[in-house]
Amino acid sequence: MQQNGSQPQRPGAVPAMDDAPALPGLRLIRPLDLGGTAAVYLYEQEGLNRPVAVKVALQGSMDRQTHQLFLREAKTLAKLSTHPCILSIYQALVSDDGRDCLVLEYAPGGSCKAIMLNGGMDQEGVLDLGVRMASALYCAHERGILHRDVKPSNFLITDQGLPVLADFGISSGIYGGERAGGLSIPWAAPEVLANRSGGSEASDIYSLGASLFGMLAGRSPYEYAYRARDEDHLAQLILRAETPVLHMGEASPMLVAVLEKAMAHDRDDRYYSALEFGRALQEVQQQLYGHATPFIGEGIDPYPKADVRPHAHTGAIASGTENKESGHSWTGTGTSSESRLQPDREAVADHGDSQARRFPGGRRLILLASILAAVLAVALVWVLVVGLPNGSERGSQPTTGASQIQTQQAQSPDPTDSSGPQDLQEGAVPSPTQGQGRYQGTTAVFTWTNPDPKPGDSYVWHPLDQGGNDDRGRSVQTRQPTARIDDPQGGQTCITVTLVRADRSMSQEPTIICAVQ
């Protein structure tokens, strides 16, 4: 487990045993990992005989900023760690020599980064991982918490072989405006790298999409598609280059389309929520394999409303009752075990460099499934991909993932070689104001005002269902400050409206407008 904001360490670096603090009720076993501001040690809880990972601030690094990072991570994990796909925290304490310590669930299977570097996962395993991590992000987002550093090294494998999301050290509130510190460039969203956003639900969704891409490809998306000279060059590629697409044969066209939407350069073109992203992954699972991993969320159906058969080895989660002490794991037995991560129990594994095996049998597609997936992908992309050029209305000339796959070369040209600095529009984009809603016969009519008009401005609006949930699948883009819904259901109809600039930057908070009969 790496501490966010740490400086790069040599591979396999571990802290010294002598630097580990004596902690009450805990017996030191061995060091695990070393970062720039924190070390991780394996301890055992006396009386319980339970192994725990203890994250300890390094001596000499205990400044106010480091203390705040530890305090924030402790409070965040305390809110979230009841979710079965989020690492548990057991205790936060201060050592006798004044260092902050977090006592965390020990994940002996290591991280998904090690799996990625060893060749990655197969498609079925990536889909399973994606649904689980999407449900973890949804839990955080529903509680107003952004992760801001989603990446394969923060997907840890528990002693039951289950993936959990870890390292909320640079997390923040959804409504906070602070910039992310210690972010990981290969996985960061373009707007974060451009300092247009300190992080958002959309940037977390981007990073999850990029991580799933990396688990399939064996490296981060822009390192897969381009030859980056260094991290600064890599950041410029993420800002300005075309979104990478997996080559034919590495993933189903359906999954390629889903990842392409999650990693869209413009955040308003991505999935509206982690739930919507998870649902899209479930639908691909159902189409390709006839089952889906359940989405775990409070008050959320574990499967899409369509008839989806649960995975044979995750039935306990279908009711939303699975916990980290259950006997169900990410391994399973039988034919479906090919898509489950199975840690090597005999190897000495830790948080930093696991010997957990990659998913075997990857990249094998049955011909019939491939043909079916290709046909479905074309239809799916037309629905999912917004991809609007400036000056166009929604639905005009969308760019499909399938067409990009056919033209993508093994190594894409470097757009940074001949172009100047990216022209970024400064300033936050305001939300629409003076929203009004009314009924005209059987039609609900909505109007609003642009508080700061700019050339090329447009709006994206979405109907809200009766439960107040945004229906992203019915999004409409328009240049006029008005919207109409024919034959609405119920006595009240509401929409959300977002202002979109010509450079595709958008309002941080949508405006909600309602019409009441």
Choosing from 99, 132, 148, 279, which is the catalytic residue? 148
- Return the SS3 of 318: helix
Residue 109: other Cβ atoms inside 10 A: 31
| Own/partner pairs, 279-283, CB within 8 angstroms, 24+ separation | 279/304, 280/384, 281/127, 281/130, 281/131, 281/134, 281/255, 282/131, 282/308
Residue 148 is a catalytic residue: yes
Q: Which of 71, 103, 87, 499 is nearest to 268 (CA)?
A: 499
483, β-bridge pairs: 446
274, β-bridge pairs: none
Characterize 382-399 residue by residue with b for buried, 16 or more Cβ atoms within 10 angstroms of its Cβ, and e for exposed.
Answer: eebbbbbeeeeeeeeebb
Contacts of 470 (CB under 8 A, 6+ apart): 272, 273, 462, 464, 496
Q: How far apart, in whole angstroms, are the C-alpha atoms of residue 8 and residue 5?
A: 9
DSSP notation for 246-290: PPTTSS-HHHHHHHHHHT-SSGGGS-SSHHHHHHHHHHHHHHHHS
Residue 189, both tokens? 């969203």
Q: Which of 281, 279, 277 is nearest to 304 (CA)?
A: 279
User: Crossing angle, helix 123-142 and helix 274-289, to 10 degrees?
Assistant: 160
Residue 208, both tokens? 């999850």
33, β-bridge pairs: 40
- Give the DSSP H or E segment for 214: helix 201-217
Q: How far apart, in whole angstroms, are the C-alpha atoms of residue 41 and residue 223?
A: 32
Q: How far apart, in whole angstroms, are the C-alpha atoms of residue 441 and residue 222?
A: 52
- The residues carrying an active-site annotation are 148
